[in-house]
Amino acid sequence: MRFFTQEEANAALALVRPLAERLVRRRRELVRVGSELGAVRGKVAGNGGSLDPEHVSRLQSAAERVSAELASLVEELDTLGVQVKDLDRGLVDFPAVHPESGETVLLCWELGEEAVAYWHGLEDGYAGRKPLPF
Q: Is residue 65 part of a domain?
A: yes
Torsion of CA 111, 102, 133, 74, to 10 degrees: -10
Domain boundaries, position 78: 6-131
Burial class (CB in 10 A: 0-12, 13-18, 19+), 48: exposed
Dihedral sign, CA of 24, 26, 31, 35? positive
Q: Is residue 59 part of a domain?
A: yes
Q: Is residue 1 part of a domain?
A: no
- Report the interhelical angle of 6-45 vs 53-79 (nearest 10°): 160
How far does Cα 119 stand from its chain's mean position?
A: 18
- Number of domains forming the structure of the chain: 1
Q: Is residue 68 part of a domain?
A: yes
Tens-level pLDDT at each residue, the chain (134 residues): 999 999 999 999 999 999 999 999 999 999 999 988 888 776 665 565 667 778 888 989 999 999 999 999 999 999 999 999 999 999 999 999 999 999 999 999 999 999 999 999 999 999 999 999 99
Q: Is residue 108 part of a domain?
A: yes
Within 8 A by CB and 6+ apart from 24, the residues are: 87, 88, 89, 90, 111
Q: Is residue 45 part of a domain?
A: yes
Q: Is residue 20 part of a domain?
A: yes
